[in-house]
Amino acid sequence: MVHLSSIPTDEEVTSPVIEGFQKLGFEPEPDALHTSVYGSHFATQETPKHEMPETEMPREVAYRMIQDDLTLDGTPTLNLASFVTTYMEEEAEKLMTECFSKNFIDYEEYPVSADIQNRCVSMIARLFHVPTHDVNTTAMGTSTIGSSEAIMLAVLAMKRRWRKQRETEGKPSDKPNIIMNAAVQVCWEKAARYFDIEEKYVYCTPERYVIDPKEAVDLVDENTIGICAILGTTYTGEYEDVKAINDLLIERGIDCPIHVDAASGGFVAPFVKPNLEWDFRLEKVVSINVSGHKYGLVYPGVGWVIWRDPKFLPEELVFNINYLGAEQASFTLNFSRGASQIIGQYYQMIRLGKHGYRAIMLNLTRTADYLASALEILGFIIMSERNGRGLPLVACRLAPDSERMFDEFAVAHQLRVRGWVVPAYTMAPNSEGMKMMRVVVREDFSRSRCDALIADFKYALDTLEEMDEQRLQDYAKHVNQHRRMSRTGTFRRMSSLFSDEQHSLQGKTGKTHAVC
């Protein structure tokens, strides 16, 4: 997700960090020939933030100044909010670095890189049980920047196919709708809004956090372009019952496609729960997306989308173009892009194989179950599934009848003091404003690190329980201010002009969009 940024005014650019504070006003001496970075005049100047400098600086100075800024970022391995991969082997990193300069879209110049994408698409499609035993199978797919782009493409394909069918039948095609769980990731709201599609939500309850198959099918009408089912929901990691939706559609004779958002679960379920039917084994499933940079074990920047058959991908959306001497069919929202992430995905799939992926995902599942048991002993209510019935994560909340005067957001902030990023969220609408926390278990989250997190959870609870009511109120104010401040000491200005929007589920209901 990319944030909207506001452009600061000249007055804001020149204003001091603290009112009344004056910057150093002495004139620097000319640098000695062999001075260190911190002996140069650059060390006494503010790093350029708003306007490109007039003159150049030495490369080692530029590197050090930027690296010093980046030390204020969090540590990726302690960021348990995100599903995104934070570890790859040295050989994978080397391969990806060597491909930084390759423009993947230039198939004529880099035909092997293009073919590697084809290999990845084939491997993933077979993992999702595309019926390759049928000689008439013509399934297809493509790489994307991530699951957000993949979902945009899949939604666009469903809309265009529905509209074409309606126009053929001489019926109006101006009011398409799509059915989904109210706990969807924000990219689904974006897809519906950007492509003028009405959102029809199946709302969660305090006891149910996934889509209800019957409610979903009951919402289908002649204007429904499709149903979104999630293999691993953002909040609790549960697998929605795709088969139940599929079977209900068949039972009622309803012609409505299913798109499976397997962004997180697509590289987990096939190895941990291989007999779970959620993919192309179900006839109503027409397209699936998956993120390579989540449990596909690749650094950020790669996703995949697969279609069962070309008839579910309208021809008018595919452009046959001649670019740099090669004919190619293109269905994408982007064009020029590096080949590195695709090469990284291929490395992981042939390096690990099915056995390697299975070993990793089973280890993550065991670690998640271990953490869930520990947090349960500490008094948390576990909301996520165990034993591989969902993603390897732990979603939990404090007991509602607890006498504690603090909430999940206070616990999250206390863990942040210890370096951990364990987010707190407000659940999807109709969940009575329920608050929760979520720990994502990734490949580099070892048992040892898990034990350290458990100890810090206990420390956080003990610390907060020792605070009296007034101190907790002051602490809550501090937490709120901390969330609004950047680590450079200024208030965040990413999109303040739009902070009062009321059109999204977050704006309407207070739902927190979880990090993906």
pLDDT, one tens digit per residue, over 1-29 is: 556 667 778 777 777 767 766 666 556 55
Compare 324 and 50 and report the one with higher pLDDT: 50
What is the CATH classification number for the domain harbouring 296? Answer: 3.40.640.10
pLDDT in tens, 466-476: 887 777 777 67
Whether residue 159 is found in the same domain as residue 308: yes
pLDDT reading at 211 higher than 90:
yes
Compare 32 and 411 and report the one with higher pLDDT: 411
pLDDT of residue 314: 86
Q: What one-character DSSP code corresponds to residue 40? A: S
pLDDT reading at 313 higher than 50:
yes
Structural domain includes residue 63: no
pLDDT band at residue 512 using 50, 70 and 90 as cut-offs: low
pLDDT of residue 462: 94
Mean pLDDT for the stretch of residues 408-417: 93
Domain count, the chain: 3
pLDDT reading at 478 higher than 50:
yes
Cβ-contact 271, 243 below 8 angstroms: no
Mean pLDDT for the stretch of residues 51-65: 92
Whether residue 468 is found in the same domain as residue 411: yes
pLDDT of residue 33: 47
Whether residue 313 is found in the same domain as residue 171: yes
How many CB atoms neighbour CB 42 within 10 A? 18
Whether residue 175 is found in the same domain as residue 272: yes
pLDDT of residue 372: 98
Residue with tokens 């013509």: 138
pLDDT of residue 11: 78
- Beta-strand relationship, 224-230 and 285-291: unpaired
pLDDT in tens, 244-272: 999 999 999 999 999 999 999 999 999 99
Structural domain includes residue 179: yes
pLDDT of residue 317: 84
State which amino acid sits at residue 222: E
pLDDT reading at 496 higher than 80:
no
Cβ-contact 375, 452 below 8 angstroms: no
What mean pLDDT is reported for the chain? Answer: 88
pLDDT reading at 385 higher than 60:
yes
Structural domain includes residue 277: yes
Whether residue 486 is found in the same domain as residue 375: yes
pLDDT of residue 485: 57
Whether residue 315 is found in the same domain as residue 433: no
Whether residue 379 is found in the same domain as residue 254: no
Is the Cα torsion angle 512, 514, 515, 516 positive or negative in sign? negative
Whether residue 313 is found in the same domain as residue 410: no
Q: What are phi and psi of 335, to 5 degrees?
A: -135, -95
Structural domain includes residue 342: no
| Global model pTM greater than 0.85 | yes
Strand partners, 200: 179
pLDDT reading at 321 higher than 50:
yes
Whether residue 284 is found in the same domain as residue 371: no
Query: Of all helices (H) and strands (E), which one includes residue 355?
Result: helix 340-377
Mean pLDDT for the stretch of residues 422-441: 88
Whether residue 45 is found in the same domain as residue 162: no
Mean pLDDT for the stretch of residues 451-477: 87
Angstrom distance (rounded) from CA 239 to CA 30:
64
Enumerate the H helices of 10-110 as residue ranges.
10-14, 59-70, 90-98
Nearest to 146 by CA among 344, 278, 341, 328: 341
Whether residue 309 is found in the same domain as residue 190: yes
Angstrom distance (rounded) from CA 61 to CA 192:
46
pLDDT in tens, 146-190: 999 999 999 999 999 999 999 999 999 999 999 999 999 999 999
Full 3-state SS string of 295-349: CCCCCCCCEEEEECCHHHCCHHHCEEEEECCEEEEECCCCCCCECHHHHHHHHHH
Mean pLDDT for the stretch of residues 103-128: 89
- Domain with 40 in it: 10-14+23-58
Helix (H, G, I), strand (E, B) or coil at 394: strand
Compare 439 and 515 and report the one with higher pLDDT: 439
Tokens standing for 236? 């609790």
- DSSP one-letter string for 9-27: PHHHHHS-SSTT-----PP
pLDDT of residue 374: 98
pLDDT reading at 438 higher than 50:
yes
Structural domain includes residue 126: no
Least confident of 2-6, 63-67, 346-350, 488-492: 488-492
Residue with tokens 């501090």: 478
Residue with tokens 């930027």: 66
Whether residue 311 is found in the same domain as residue 390: no
